Structure 1
C-alpha cells in the first residue's frame, strides 16, 4: 500500500485520471470543510512512491473533483462558495483557466459527461443540478431537485441521461433527449427507501425511514443499474427498468456511506467509503445466477472518516485509491483485502 499526506487538508474526493495510469487528483479542505481554504492536489505514482506533481490553493473548501474527458491535463473542482473551477495542470500559473459561478450554495459534486464528453454537470445544496459547457461561462440548463443535492452522475452508456441523489431520499433520472416541457426532462423519481423489489427477494421487507442520500454511481457494464448510499449506512442497487424499489441491499457499514464506485473491470463489484473509517468491496451477485450479494472484504487503514474512493482504469483489475479526513491518500490492491 502506498500513502501520501495532504498535510493540513482533509480529503473529500479522489479520482484517477482516464488518460494516465499513474495520475491522481484529490480535492481537500482545511478544518474538515467547515470553514477555511481548500486545496487541489495532483499526484503521480512513481518508483519512489506517491509524489505531488502540483497543488492549487482555493479560498473555500473543495468537495469534489473530476477529470476532463477531452483534455488530459484539465481538472474540474466543485467548491464551498458554489463555484466550479477548471484547471490546466500543464500551465505554470496556480490560477484556474475558467470559473463557473451560478450556484447559490455549496457545489458538492461535479461529473464530466462520459459519452459526448462536451459537457459536465454539477449539483449543489441550492437544490439544482446544472449542465455546463467548458467554453461558456453560463450554464446550458438547470434541473431543479428542490432538495439539497449531494451527487450527480452521467450515465456512461447513454448520451443525455444523468442522475442525482438528494437529501429528500430520492433518486432522480433525467433524459435530456426528451422535450423540455416534459417535467424538465425528469423521467424517473424513485424513493430510495421504498421496500425492496420482490423479484429478487423471497419475502416482502419493510420500508426504511427516509434519510439523506449522499452518493450514487452507474454500473459500467449494465446500463440500467446503479447504486445509492447515504446516512442510513445501506448500499442499495436499482434497476431503472423496475423502479418500484431496490434490487439488493448491502449492509455492513457502521456509519454513513460517503462514496460508492462500481468497478470498471467487473460488472458485479462495488467499492464504498464510509464514516466508519473503512473502505469495503461488495458483490451484488450479478456475476453468477444464484450468487448472493455480499461483502467481500474491507480496508481499515484510515484513522478518520473515509470520504472518497475510486478504481484505477488501467492494468490488472483491483487497484484503487481512497482518501479521508486523516489527511491520507491510500493506493491499494482491493484483491489483497478480499476474502477468498
Structure 2
C-alpha cells in the first residue's frame, strides 16, 4: 500500500488520469471544507511511492475534480465558492479558464467520455450545467430543484446524463429530446421506493427517503446505475424499468456512503467510500446468474449481491475512491479527511468465495 500525506488539507475527491497509470489528482480543502483554501494535488507514482508533480492553491474549498478526456494536462475542479476552474499542469499556477455561474457550492464535475469537448457540473443551488472549455459561459442549465450532490454523463451515450440529489431521486436527462417544459428530463426514479412485490408475496415495506450523495454508471451494462447516500445502502437500478425499484440492494456500511465507483474491468464489481472510515468492494451478483425468482421471502436484499472485502486503514471520513484504468484489475486509490491518500490493491482485501 502506497501512502501520501496531504498535509493541512482534507481530501474530498481522487481521480486517476485517463492517459497515465502513474498520475493521480486529489481535490482537497483546508479545515474539512468548512472555511479556508483549497488545493489540487497532481501526484506521480514511481518506485519510491507517490510524490507531488504539481499543486494548485485556490481561495476556497475544492470538492471534486475531473481530468479532461481531450487533453492529458488539463483538469477541472469544483469550488466551494460556486466557481469552476480549469488548470493546465504544464503551465503556471493560475487557471487557464474560470466560470462562476453557480449560486452555491459546486459539488461535482464530470467530463464527457464520448464527446470529449464537454463537461458538466452540479451544485447545491439545484442545477446541473454543461460547459465547453473554450466557451465563456455554460451551454445549458438543467434544473433539479434540489441540492444536487452528483451528476454524470453516461459513458455509453454522450447525450444522456444523470443526477442524484437531496430529494432522494435519480434523474435522467436526454439532450436529444425537445427541451419543452421537461428540460430534457426523461425519468425521475425515487431511490427509496420499495421494489415491486413478486407473485404470491406481500408488498415490501417502504423506506423513508434520505439524501443521495453519489452514483455511478456501470461501465459494461449501459442501463445499470448504482446510487448511495445517507441511508448507508447501495442500490442498483435498471433505467429501462424506472418503476421496478432497485435491482440489487447492498447494505453494510455503518455511516453515509460518500462515493461509489464501478470497476472498469469487471461488470459486477464496485467500490464504495464511507464516513464509517472504510472502503468496501462489492459484487451486485449479476455475474452469478442467480434467478431472483428463487430468492427467499426473508432475504435481506434483492439478488445475490454481497460485500467481498473492506479496507480500514483510513482514520477519518473516506470521501473519494477511484479505480486505475490500466494494468491489473484491482488497483485503486482513496482519500479522506485524515489527510491521507492511499493507493492499494483491491484483490488483497477480497474474501475468497
Aligned-pair distance for 1:153? 0.6
Matches within 5 A, 1:30-45: 30-45=30-45
The correspondence of residues 200-215 of structure 1 with structure 2, limited to 5 A, is 204-215=203-214
Partner in structure 2 of residue 12 of structure 1: 12
How many angstroms apart in 2 are the aligned matches of 1:199 and 1:286? 19
By how many angstroms is 1:18 displaced? 0.3
What is the Cα deviation at residue 137 of structure 1? 1.2
1:211-231 residue CA offsets vs partner (Å, 9 max, x unmatched): 100000000000000100000
Rounded to whole Å, the distance in 2 between the matches of 1:263 and 1:77 is 23
Equivalent position to 1:310, from 305, 318, 322: 322
> 1:155 is matched with which residue?
154
Residue-by-residue CA offset, 1:125-166 (whole Å, 9 max, x unaligned):
000000001100100000000000000011000121000000
Structure 1 residues 179, 230: CA separation in 2 closer, same or farther (over 3 Å shift)? same
Please say if residues 147 and 168 of structure 1, whose CA atoms lie closer than 8 Å, have aligned partners that are also in contact. yes
TM-score when normalising by structure 2: 0.94
8 Å contact kept, 1:14–1:24: yes
> Are the aligned partners of 1:197 and 1:247 in contact in 2 as well (CA < 8 Å)?
no
Which secondary structure does the structure 2 equivalent of 1:287 belong to?
Answer: helix
The alpha carbon displacement at 1:83 in A equals 0.5
Work out the number of aligned pairs and report it.
339
Equivalent residues in 2 for 1:1-340 (5 A)? 1-91=1-91, 93-181=92-180, 183-198=182-197, 204-244=203-243, 245-290=245-290, 292-340=304-352
SS state of the match for residue 31, structure 2? Answer: helix
**1:114/1:154 contact within 8 Å kept:** yes
Structure 2 distance, partners of 1:281, 1:201, is: 34
Cα contact 1:170–1:189 (8 A) shared by 2:
yes
Partner secondary structure for residue 32 of structure 1: helix
TM-score (norm 1): 0.98
CA contact (8 A) 1:196 1:248 kept: no
Structure 1 residues 142-197: Cα deviation after superposition (integer angstroms, max 9, x where no partner): 00000000000110001210000000000100000111115100000010100024
Give the Cα separation in 1 of the matches to 2:200 and 2:254.
Answer: 24
The 1-side partners of 2:267 and 2:26 are apart by 26
Q: Quick check: 302-311 or 179-188, which moved more?
A: 179-188
CA RMSD of aligned residues (A): 1.3
> 1:31 aligns to what SS in structure 2?
helix
Aligned-partner SS, 1:77: strand
Could you tell me how far apart the structure 2 residues matched to 1:317 and 1:194 are?
A: 34
Cα distance in structure 2, aligned partners of 1:71 and 1:325: 30
Provide structure 2 residue ranges, at least 5 long, that are not aligned to the other structure: 291-302
CA contact (8 A) 1:122 1:131 kept: yes
Q: Partners of 2:108 and 2:11 in 1: how far apart?
A: 14
- Partners of 1:265 and 1:181 lie apart in 2 by 39
Q: Which runs of 5 or more residues in structure 1 are unaligned?
A: none
